[in-house]
Amino acid sequence: MAESRATRRTVLKTGLAAVAALAVAGCSTDGGIPSSGGGGGDFDFTAATPAGELIPAESRQTAPAFAGELLDGSDFASSSLAGQIVVVNFWGSWCAPCRVESPEFQAVSTDVADAGVSFLGVAVRDQRQLAQAFTDDFAITYPSLFDPSGEIALTFRGFPANVVPTTILIDRDNRVAGVYVSAVAEEDLRAILQELLAEDPSGTPTTSPPDD
């Protein structure tokens, strides 16, 4: 009996530790989504970008083209965002960290909408009705692709799409400037977007002209 109780305590502690880790790192999708696939572009995921940092301009790879159906049923193609900075956020209505992150993303998207920054959600491993209710509940105004099978994620080769939330930043030259495989804090998102906005289209930081 004592051994059985000790075993149950060990299992309980292990389970609580797993839940805690999941809450910090994000949610895994049921069954997972294969983390490699085709798609155009040169991007091939090798490692997550540290929080609050960007991939150096000289190391950025071309983002793949992708297309799909938005939650409202209309068609979408990534080519419609050409020349803009794009924040692609993979989320699910079943994901607890997404419930914290999404309202913060909405606030940031409103503040930078006129600066040439577009936000795009991707609802993965979800039901359309639940995903739509999620965006309604949190008053999310930027569009979200409905991607229950993870096809959009597969266009980003090697991208660990079984972890949600995950955010990909794309610069004005359609290059992947950051891949964050956990929730992104609002202050970090604002800081890295300001860095991208300060770059010229070639990825070089702009500088003020010298005083006479």
* Distance in angstroms (rounded) separating the CA atoms of residues 66 and 177: 17
Task: Give the SS3 label for residue 165.
Answer: coil
pLDDT in tens, 141-190: 999 999 998 889 889 888 876 789 999 999 999 999 999 999 999 999 99
Q: Quote the distance between the C-alpha of residue 54 and its chain's center.
A: 14
Global pTM reads: 0.79
Q: What pLDDT score was predicted for residue 8?
A: 40
pLDDT in tens, 197-207: 999 776 666 55
Helices (H), the chain: 2-25, 96-112, 128-137, 151-155, 186-197
Name every residue whose Cβ is closer than 8 Å to that of residue 99 and which is 6 or more positions away in sequence: 138
Which phi and psi (to 5°) does residue 50 adopt? -60, 145
* Distance in angstroms (rounded) separating the CA atoms of residues 197 and 178: 14
Average pLDDT, the chain: 82
List the structure tokens of 9.
């305590």
The closest alpha carbon to 159, from 29, 57, 43, belongs to: 43
Q: Which residue has the higher pLDDT, 211 or 91?
A: 91
Tell me the C-alpha to C-alpha distance, in Å, between residue 102 and each of 95, 96, 162, 180, 206.
Answer: 11, 10, 18, 14, 30
pLDDT at 3 exceeding the cut of 90: no
Domains of the chain: 28-197 (3.40.30.10)
